[in-house]
Amino acid sequence: MSTATPEKQLANVEEATVRFCGDSGDGMQLAGTQFTNTSALAGNDVATFPDFPAEIRAPRGTKAGVSGFQIHFSSNEIYTPGDTVDSLVAMNPAALATNLQDLRDGGILLVNKDAFDKKGLEQAGYETNPLEDGSLEKYKLHSVEMTKLVRLAVEGLGLSQKEADRCRNFFAMGLVFWLYDRSLDPTLRFIETKFGKKPEIAQANTAALKAGFNYGETVEAINTQYHVDPAVLPPGKYRNIMGNTALAWGLLAAAQLSEKRLFLGAYPITPASDILHELSKHKHYDVLTFQAEDEIAAVTSTIGASFAGAMAVTASSGPGIALKGEALGLAVITELPMVIINVQRGGPSTGLPTKTEQSDLWQAMYGRNGECPMCVIAASGPADCFYAVQEAWRISSKYMMPVFFLTDGYIANGSEPWRIPKMADLPKIEIKHPESRDSAADDFEQFQPYTRDDLLARPWAIPGTPGLEHRLGGLEKADGTGNVSYDPANHQHMTDVRQKKVDLVADDIPEQKVFGEKEGDLLVLSWGGTYGSCTTAVRHAQKAGKKVSHCHLRYINPFPKDLEGILRGFKQVLIPELNMGQLRSIIRDRYLIDAKGLNKVQGKPFSVAEISEKINEMV
């Protein structure tokens, strides 16, 4: 169904990338989310990249305060939010100045002309008005008086000027919806739900949205509409999902599948806080969310909750994980199950709180005192969080040990279509607890908390169970009895056991998937949120006839058993990472393979082009 009038052309395109950018108070995240949901509902594959400043309200109109949201939507499967932008919406000069470099030549540029006044231009560092000085000639520039048009559109609704101006994002949305032949219905439904209690605001936003849409339809200067057909995705029911939401829902699922109460101990930290927010909404799933006084209390309460028999989880980001380090040692030595989530961000120290990075891998692997190995699992994208975190809990509860779960800011805030699973189809997570004993019985023997099963897991005996009274603690334990032991041979033995438990997981995880041939000139090895750009770049290289394959790791400690063989099947190995080479160092250390790195720490994900360029340089 097209809304194109006879004077307008409708062009079918395979895919498009749109970015909304403006001041952090301009509602760009909302505009982006609405466009994403609408595109997903239209059946496109979508990938998004929200990018916002660390300050809640940086000074208005400044470059520091620019907030952006990028959506890539396609009639084919896509894996990244797109390298370059086809259409850029810039709500003020600062947004234009900081985002224009990503707009492709010939791309569509929609700007709010009214914001390009003297002050706005000065704040963005423009000496002349780019809308008038010819510097934007290579783009399809549409300079729209959005402020004025919105004020006119909402006239008579009794809104103050400030309130009227707040509807500008809906105008911009309306215009982009028209441009990409999108239905307004999902956003109209959203307005109804969100602003139903404030009818004048609902009316105003509706009016602004329609005004933007009609503007596109009416104005002669915009003569082409673009249409992206639905993608061919595996059949099923879909929804759009963000990484942190998928992660929280994965935790809910894991708790139900293992018949456990879910306890989350957390301290607010960007970009992990949404996990706390999401789970706090779902208390009726028997979820206890504890906003602790600090990161240390968050993890130690998690240890207490695990001791008490709950599915215990703590979620944080790098600086918070640093504070948890000592307690993670306690989790390892007490051999209690729990999931430690790190939604990574730029570091060191406070670093770049709202930007993505993969620089906490070594922290997860090594960031504790003593010989303190931990199983490390990483999600590859927003929807994968749902499944990967269930896997983390499966391993944690089966082997009785804490498991590190890594995502990053890019995964956490990004979104993609998610084929909705049925709970009945998800594998159950079986957990057994030792049963009570009669301490008055003649044959009663003191319970030994550090006896082990075939997988070296000790029994998870829960306080409240008669006859299993025992003490855990941070001092070294004698294997079996669990009593404090300073015996040299025992310490060596227990150190070996704790390592062995992690190693044994390698027998319990799937073989490493290889995308492409199992031998060749180059293997691209990736982990975490770089999955999309790596797989896309490898696809391009394969299409170009290069002998390049791709492996993406979910299991980092331990590695899949067949990984070494795969690595050795290629003449070269390239490991692109948003850090200075942390996985590369581990791979070299483990296998003595001279992997090469492509490394970047700029708070931004890789573009496909960056990886393609490196691949082309190597083969």
- Residues 275-314 touching another protein, rule: CB under 8 A, are 282-288, 290, 292-294, 296-297, 300-310, 312
3-state secondary structure of 461: coil
Minimum CB–partner distance for residue 293 and another protein (Å): 4
**Rounded to the nearest whole angstrom, what is the least distance from the CB of residue 361 to another protein in the complex?**
25
Binding part of the chain for another protein, among 268-276, 371-379, 464-472, 513-521 by CB under 8 A, reads 464-472
For another protein, the closer of residues 6 and 235 by Cβ is: 235
Of 416 and 577, the one with the shorter C-beta distance to another protein is 416
Out of 64, 420, 544, 580, the only residue in the binding site for another protein (CB under 8 A) is 420
Rounded (5°) CA angle 478-479-483: 35
Distance in angstroms (rounded) separating the CA atoms of residues 33 and 187: 10
Q: How far is the CB of 439 from another protein (least distance, A)?
A: 8
Is the peptide bond between 271 and the residue preceding it cis, with omega within 30 degrees of 0?
yes
The per-residue DSSP string of 544-557 comes to TT--EEEEEESEEE
Provide DSSP, 547-602.
Answer: -EEEEEESEEESPPTTHHHHHHTEEEEEEEESSSSHHHHHHHHHH----EEEE--S
Binding residues for another protein, total number by CB under 8 A: 77
Q: Which is nearer to another protein, 172 or 297 (CB)?
A: 297
Q: Which is nearer to another protein, 149 or 332 (CB)?
A: 332
Whether the bond between 558 and the residue before it is cis, its omega within 30 degrees of 0, is yes
Element containing residue 46 per DSSP (H, E): strand 45-51
Question: Binding of another protein at residue 252 (CB under 8 A)?
Answer: yes
Residue corresponding to tokens 């990938």? 47
CB of 447 to another protein, least distance (A): 10
Contact 173, 34 (CB under 8 A): yes
Q: Is 197 among the residues that bind another protein (CB under 8 A)?
A: no
- Of 28-57, which residues contact another protein (CB under 8 A)? 37, 40-41, 43
Residues 423-452 that bind another protein (CB under 8 A): 423, 436, 439-440, 446
- Closer residue to another protein, CB minimum distance, 56 or 440: 440
Rounded to a whole number of angstroms, the minimum distance from the CB of residue 446 to another protein is 7
For residue 464, what are the contacts with CB-CB under 8 A and spacing of at least 6? Answer: 309
- Report the nearest approach of another protein to the CB of residue 211 (Å): 24
Task: Identify the CA nearest to 244 among candidates 213, 271, 215.
Answer: 271
Q: Judged by CB under 8 A, which of 50, 93, 107, 186 binds another protein? A: 186
Site for another protein in 509-548 (CB under 8 A): none
Furthest-apart CA atoms within the chain: distance in Å: 96
- Distance between CA 430 and CA 69 in Å, rounded? 41
CA dihedral sign, ordered 241, 245, 250, 253: negative
3-state secondary structure of 66: strand
Site string for another protein, 470-499 (x = CB under 8 A): xxxxxx-------xx---------------
String marking each residue 316-355 x if it binds another protein according to CB under 8 A: ----------xx-xx---x---------------------
Q: How many residues does the chain have?
A: 619
The answer to whether 82 touches 153, Cβ cutoff 8 Å, is no
Contact 389, 379 (CB under 8 A): yes
- Shorter beta-carbon distance to another protein: residue 256 or 572: 256
Smallest distance from the beta carbon of 305 to another protein, in angstroms?
4
Nearest alpha-carbon partner for 262 in 274, 242, 248: 248
Shortest spacing between CB 283 and another protein, in angstroms: 4
Alpha-carbon Rg for the chain, nearest whole angstrom, is 27
CB of 441 to another protein, least distance (A): 12
List 25, 268, 421, 581, residue binding another protein (CB under 8 A): 421
Report the nearest approach of another protein to the CB of residue 5 (Å). Answer: 27
Residue nearer to another protein on the CB measure, 187 or 607: 187
Of the candidates 3, 129, 135, 465, which one interacts with another protein according to CB under 8 A?
A: 465
Cβ-based nearer residue to another protein, 55 or 293 = 293
* Angle in degrees, CA 248, 531, 515, rounded to 5: 125
For another protein, the closer of residues 33 and 92 by Cβ is: 33
Query: How does strand 140-144 pair with strand 66-74?
Result: unpaired
Shortest Å, Cβ 226 to another protein: 20
Candidate residues 22, 65, 265, 347; the one interacting with another protein per rule CB under 8 A: 265
| Token pair listed for 253 | 């699922």
**CB nearer to another protein: pick between 264 and 406:** 264
Min dist CB 449 to another protein, Å, is 10
Rounded to an integer, what distance in angstroms lies between the CA atom of residue 95 and that of residue 476?
Answer: 57
**Site track 227-246 with another protein (rule: CB under 8 A), x = hit:** ---x-xxxxxxxxx------
Report the distance separating Cα 303 and Cα 502, nearest Å: 19
Q: Which residue has the tokens 């952006």?
A: 68
